[in-house]
Structure 1
């Protein structure tokens, strides 16, 4: 079979939605959070496929014949592994405030921790592998998040509006110091503070944010988000750290690219996420997990960032591309025509196809077909050849760029 159905693992992280992924799949909720469905060959939860001899891991399939599965160019660049991981992400509570290293930082950090003998599964380990982790999140429902540092003077205005005395020195620093110094100084002060001693400040800031969220004003939407974060993480210094970041809400079909060094957090919604196949995350707060403040401060890019909301670019042949500079992944979608006009998916590279609405039929050159419904996915090896796609609905296509 040129088109392989995938069986995928759903990860039950505590921040996940109980209902969003089951509703997409048309299954009954389990009563437990279902946060992420992974599609790919990540060793933590590889997808399974069956080519006639029973279920087998996609990771093992790729490793057994990298050139046939990935294509010679991709195998030559990234080795015998699928370089991207595709997910459905369903957030019902804030994820940790976090940042990802660039490739050079990841390689150096991984090697250094290995040299020190830090166990691979140690909770205080920062670098799980030698890879970086650029990401792209495309919203399926309205999706809320934080992304990149807001301009210091705008954050100073917010801190002044909160009226919390303990935050006034931070507002002054943001107004008077050069941008990089101001952002570094304030984030360092917040994250390095004694957690118990800082809890009162975080709670006061949260109460003030709830007050501003209930009134008309320029900070209303962002403060509603900060107040919601605080309800999940009372007294956490990450509540105040989050106030340094831009608040963004994606509409369905819009996407957000997250490069290395940019602090961010997902707050709520359902989306399709694609990333380089890495586990490297440095956390800033809003989590009970390890926070290594010195290493975090080494990795963070202390520069303001206006969230670049991406829209799909049509190519005239039915494919709509979310354009990013990432080398490991390429995400596009097909909104299939109501008249059933078929499209052709080019071969030559490994790809994962995910249906998010409607129904799509994939037909290989031999005439064999697979039907995808919402939440179902398929894998196409590089050697599969061109595959026809037809139906009514939306299908996301994950590949590696040429």
Structure 2
């Protein structure tokens, strides 16, 4: 059982206050977007087992089966297959989509064959893995997720009364759903940039001061002229209440807009962007990956185990499993043990962890924003008066 030292990523869309407030620290005045927990090579957590801080990735590499468990290594290789984050958005993230495993493997192989450098700004595939994600809101959390039904999107576009939007609304009403969504998104992303910038500006002006269009007016303020502003109108707008979650499967376009949440994902860097970004947008590859299917965003609420009180966010992937517990003072301690490695994250109050590991008995107290790493097979007893999230592998 080890306390984690974690890295904050200062992306421009991050909040300057949300993470410092949670951690009980003074704001730096700079954006603090994500706090990473895990063994991702870009910013691995560090643990200290007596010889000074070491990257968790190196600790795992030295003894994969001992740290991760045999089942996890057999299923996902000698690495922690998920990344846990605290995400604090004060401005919209890019509109994006992730590939499935087959698409990622094929895309990676193709770019390797063509000699595209891994760090090239136009590289799409950094690895061969899919990147399913789950976000759980700690505050009201706003996002876009999945396609609306085309008729609803047409009504939204028509409501602005902008002549340049009428052809898109007509397509959405006249064609089969999947074909209509594909045709409109393709048209938005391949149109003349100057002409599209004018249409976006006209749409933003028409949206100003109208509550039902506030999210799109805000997108246009952050990304003036970006076709992603109009593409966003094709998607479901979602506001999560604290405790609610969203699962983002392969091929589902999405964007986080604002709020603080716990995010967990497969340990991959594969992202294809649709808009709301100055970064590279590979339209042909994007259109190959996107699933043009209207759907309900599928807000998740955790399912409670009546015996243990643990609440689990059920998802159809094996690389991660996210659950939470509410710790009650004076209650019997909860016991957790898993055949795979675990990360424990406190988000409110405090959590006391007592464990018996190879180094003997140990106790850690976690305050909000602090986390711990539990090797496979180690038993830990939990008590306290806070909220604790638990991330592990679904083996």
- TMscore range, shorter length: over 0.9
Alpha-carbon distance in structure 2 between the residues aligned to 1:319 and 1:333: 6
2:282 maps to 292
Query: 1:364 & 1:269 partners in 2: Cα distance?
Result: 34
- Secondary structure of the residue aligned to 1:234 is coil
Cα deviation for residue 338 of structure 1 reads 3.4
Instruction: Please list every run of at least 4 consecutive aligned residues from structure 1 whose deviation after the TM superposition is greater than 3 angstroms.
Output: none
Question: Alignment length, in residue pairs?
Answer: 391
Question: CA-to-partner distance for each residue in 1:340-395, whole Å, 9 max, x for gaps?
Answer: 43100113210000000000000012432000000000000004x21100000100
Match of 1:373 among 352, 367, 371: 367
Contact kept in structure 2, 1:95 and 1:286, CA below 8 Å: yes
Check if 1:262 corresponds to 2:260.
no
Cα distance in 2, alignment partners of residues 263 and 209 from structure 1 = 23
TM-score in terms of structure 2 length = 0.98
Q: Which one of the candidate residues 320, 324, 327 is aligned to 2:318? A: 327
8 Å contact kept, 1:88–1:273 = yes
Deviations for 1:204-225, whole angstroms, at most 9, x for unmatched residues? Answer: 1112222432xxxxxx1xx111
How far off its partner does 1:318 sit? 2.1
TM-score (norm: length of structure 1): 0.96
Q: Specify the alignment match of 2:341 in structure 1.
A: 350
Counterpart residue number, 2:167: 169
In structure 2, the partner of 1:275 is 265
Q: CA contact under 8 A between 1:347 and 1:387: conserved in structure 2? A: no
Cα distance, 1:339 vs. partner? 2.9
Q: Which sections of structure 1, spanning at least 5 residues, go unmatched?
A: 214-219
2:40 equivalent in structure 1: 42
**Corresponding residue of 2:385:** 392
Asked if the contact 1:340–1:392 (Cα under 8 Å) also holds between the matched residues in 2, the reply is no
Conserved 8 A contact 2:137-2:259: yes
SS of the aligned residue for 2:28 comes to coil
> In angstroms, what is the RMSD of aligned CA positions?
0.8
- Aligned residue for 2:19? 21
Mapping of residues 3-402 of structure 1, within 5 Å: 3-213=1-211, 220=212, 223-316=213-306, 317-365=308-356, 366-383=360-377, 385-402=378-395
Distance (Å, rounded) in 2 between the aligned partners of 1:209 and 1:277: 38
Q: Which moved more, 1:86-95 or 1:204-213?
A: 204-213
Offset from partner CA, 1:281-320 (integer Å, 9 cap, x none): 0000000100000100000000001110111111120211
